[in-house]
Structure 1
């Protein structure tokens, strides 16, 4: 029993930190969190469980201010993850934390729900990013239930959903809350718990579509000129043009493979990662030129068949959306634009320019790869001429 007490597990964490050469100041911060864990558990002789760790990690409100403490959220969660790793394997895992480890309930009644949900998602055919969002939100909710003494979904009701969302709202932005609601609702629908799904509507989370921004004509021209400039790396220029002229999402830019590029027809064919739908887009001359320059002259030698890989070793595919965002932002800086931006901005710009050219909405939807054609309608708000044409004249005699 002594090997699973709070004091023993925390001692193993400290030993692992010293063994890995952590700075004394960092270990001191861990010791501070350990003392808080011992107070939370009722002493160092209390038995450590993953449920206890989850509850400790969730105690993120400061007694002094009464508000959410980001420092507590970071420190307590960090310690709980290391203690959990010792409980799982008998050794402390100091490897880089990934979000997939964030939330896994251990109470059998909730853990089986998580396992079944993950199995369903694995065979759902949904994009990997969507699966990750759904899995993460389910884990957060189920571990929240666990930390509040609920051992099965049969014992949950709408008040638990509202309490969970209220806790998120104390530290998440309203835009993130909209994502939380949309990521949590599928779990409840799958479980047949319409009462829990309906409770989300009582939380007052409003879903709105902001008017999509676009590039003015001058900035659009300067960005195209920057992409054609040889002082801009071909990789960054090609990434920018794929979003600017083809409207590709960042995930599709990252996943693009050499075999997807058809040089004979000057087109790119791929299966969209978000929707699973096939998509073929034409390559413009500038895009083809910069893409060929990257593949033939600048791309490092590597066995990875993705088009875009890292400049520095290991020469593997770009890791995430931030890589695309930074590449596009570098080109924007070179063009002298007073802004940063990524593929979303350039997709909006591409849609707006197609609208201005009187391109039918179904065609724009096909080019952008929208699974639902109605998703394209949000871009109509950026077409000033079209919006003005919808304004009715003021009737004679009407007040100004």
Structure 2
């Protein structure tokens, strides 16, 4: 069996090409293989799990000391997992993952123990999978920030580290969305019982942005529906867009939707929502059922994965989260000829809720349809119902030409 880095790398690339992986994915693997070869130069050309372990946590160029960004570091961990699998089995297993599926994680022993404890705590609380993922990601990002600044234990961290962490997030998060990051970060600080860090988070004063989400016009809805129904877009993209437009399903629920969740005879969809863990059953209109059937029977790759919506290119696995759904809906709108800057499930979810509201549907019913954990969450949609809001405006008293 080949054990040289270059030879294993050639087998990995050949497997990627045979499975039809995207060109960008193959380029990322090639780049990671090149860095592994550089690391192996001083240790001979043979690959070993020990070399892979060092490679997976390599954070800087061994020649210049220049620190890598998180993306290549995640690629290193993924490649090490594939190489290890080859050494142990003699086969290239492209599903092999390492260190949380390729995600960069802290290397400090204290931080590893802390993250494990936080994960166990969230599991014990019964938090939804999507919530656990968001909270875990926020905690991991903070601990990685500490490590990057030479802090290897939470006891060494102070309030300034919280300010610095939030500042680092501003490069990746829009100012109006930073509140989401803070919301996911706060529970972790509560868990650590570090009052000083919590106070620093409060002092940062990150405010929630309550922008009014624009709605689709009736003509725009018709154009989108026609694009989905007349074959302008793939059956997969059409089914995803129609589900979001009509039912208001969250992106995470579209990603996690499984074949067994669809009752074809009863024309319903039954899920347990990722965000709230609440069960939800919704009717499946004939148009959506037709597009789903067209996708499942004609387009969907023949793989074991039970998720309804899969990647078009190999590996044919479930979609990679909210961003993947956004790309689908944006592509559908663009193909339909509609120029909108933001056309993700948030817009479509608000649109579905507002249509129900305009139809006179009671707020508790809308809340149940959208799967809110609290009926109060539906109040935000009142801001989009201009007609009903105008009806609530009281006339201003006018006396002697003066408005009082």
> Normalising to structure 2: TM-score of the pair?
0.72
Cα distance, 1:297 vs structure 2: 3.6
CA contact 1:219–1:337 (8 Å) conserved in 2: yes
The 3 A distance-change label for structure 1 pair 149 and 329 is: closer
Cα distance, 1:105 vs structure 2: 4.2
Alignment of 1:191-230 (within 5 A): 191-230=192-231
The 3 A distance-change label for structure 1 pair 77 and 338 is: closer
Cα distance, 1:243 vs structure 2: 0.7
Cα distance, 1:244 vs structure 2: 0.9
Match of 2:359 in 1: 357
Distance 1:75 1:217 in 2: 45
Cα distance, 1:20 vs structure 2: 5.4
Match of 2:13 in 1: none
Q: CA RMSD, aligned part only? A: 4.0
Match of 1:144 in 2: 145
Q: Select between 96-105 and 161-170 the one with higher mean Cα deviation.
A: 96-105
Cα distance, 1:17 vs structure 2: 8.7
CA contact 1:235–1:308 (8 Å) conserved in 2: yes
Match of 1:380 in 2: 382
Cα distance, 1:294 vs structure 2: 2.4
Alignment of 1:139-288 (within 5 A): 139-148=140-149, 150-169=151-170, 172-288=173-289
Match of 1:394 in 2: 396
Distance 1:306 1:208 in 2: 34
Distance 1:246 1:308 in 2: 17
Cα distance, 1:149 vs structure 2: 5.0
Cα distance, 1:277 vs structure 2: 0.9
Alignment of 1:67-106 (within 5 A): 78=72, 101-106=103-108
The 3 A distance-change label for structure 1 pair 301 and 386 is: same
The total of aligned residue pairs comes to: 349
The alignment partner of 2:280 has SS state of: strand
Give deviations 1:219-247, integer Å, cap 9, x for gaps: 01222222221444322221111111111
Q: Select between 348-357 and 150-159 the one with higher mean Cα deviation.
A: 150-159
CA contact 1:102–1:136 (8 Å) conserved in 2: no
The 3 A distance-change label for structure 1 pair 194 and 372 is: farther
Matched, 1:346 2:362: no
Distance 1:104 1:399 in 2: 63
Q: Select between 206-215 and 322-331 the one with higher mean Cα deviation.
A: 322-331
Alignment of 1:125-144 (within 5 A): 125-144=126-145
Cα distance, 1:172 vs structure 2: 4.2
The alignment partner of 1:244 has SS state of: helix
Distance 1:333 1:146 in 2: 42
The alignment partner of 1:268 has SS state of: strand
The 3 A distance-change label for structure 1 pair 173 and 74 is: farther
Distance 2:147 2:295 in 1: 51
Give deviations 1:168-225, integer Å, cap 9, x for gaps: 3366432343222112110111122233223211012111222122101110122222
The alignment partner of 2:204 has SS state of: coil
Cα distance, 1:313 vs structure 2: 4.6
Structure 2 runs not aligned, ≥5 long: 11-26, 40-53, 85-95
Give deviations 1:82-107, integer Å, cap 9, x for gaps: 69x99xx99xxxx999885323141x
CA contact 2:106–2:147 (8 Å) conserved in 1: no
Distance 1:77 1:226 in 2: 36
Match of 1:303 in 2: 304
Cα distance, 1:150 vs structure 2: 4.4
The alignment partner of 1:302 has SS state of: coil
The alignment partner of 2:247 has SS state of: coil
Distance 2:101 2:208 in 1: 25
The alignment partner of 1:380 has SS state of: helix
CA contact 2:177–2:209 (8 Å) conserved in 1: no
Cα distance, 1:373 vs structure 2: 1.9
The 3 A distance-change label for structure 1 pair 126 and 80 is: closer
CA contact 1:53–1:80 (8 Å) conserved in 2: no
The alignment partner of 1:142 has SS state of: helix
Give deviations 1:316-350, integer Å, cap 9, x for gaps: 33333333223323332333212262222211110
The 3 A distance-change label for structure 1 pair 73 and 176 is: farther
CA contact 1:188–1:197 (8 Å) conserved in 2: yes
Match of 1:7 in 2: none
CA contact 1:103–1:143 (8 Å) conserved in 2: yes
Structure 1 runs not aligned, ≥5 long: 1-14, 35-48, 58-71
> Normalising to structure 1: TM-score of the pair?
0.73
